[in-house]
Structure 1
């Protein structure tokens, strides 16, 4: 059976990959904050600090979604919804 809807067949959210990219980004943002603070570049240190907060927020949301577990997604044998006819 082929799917004719507009949704992808194997669409999944890559949460674990996003988690590890976030951890990698957090490491670099913390490193940048410390390095710029030690060299006296306050503006860059603040920018990296703000980036740290953004990455931490993203990591918090990613972990929350991972802990929620998988949500129901129909398999290949479930046909897509037919679009409604416009009157």
Structure 2
């Protein structure tokens, strides 16, 4: 069976925000650990790189939480289908 495309996938696409959030938490923990560890062993370049990564992950988490709080208008729930069913049968 070939999956049917409706052509509206980009406008009805959904993102797994909870998964993105927890992956960001994991990245944040490692970025903080890396910044601290490299700063303690005297590697300022690697500590700065981890610090930049820490900043990027923090901004990403902020955007993710913002999208999660916007609610189902911007992020459809599980009960909303991902696309409109086709009006007619196969061509």
Range into which the TM-score falls when normalised by the shorter chain = 0.7 to 0.9
Q: 23-32 vs 71-80, which deviates more?
A: 71-80
Question: TM-score, normalised to structure 1's length?
Answer: 0.75
Provide the aligned C-alpha RMSD in A.
2.8
**Number of positions where the alignment pairs a residue of Structure 1 with one of Structure 2:** 79
Task: Report the Cα offset of residue 48 of structure 1.
Answer: 0.1
Per the alignment, do residues 52 and 5 of structure 1 end up closer, same or farther by CA in structure 2, a change over 3 Å counting? same
In structure 2, the gaps of 5 or more residues are 87-91
1:37 corresponds to which residue? Answer: 39
User: C-alpha deviations, 1:29-75, integer Å up to 9, x for none?
Assistant: 00000000000000000000000000000000000000000127664
Q: Deviation above 4 Å: which 4+ runs of structure 1?
A: none
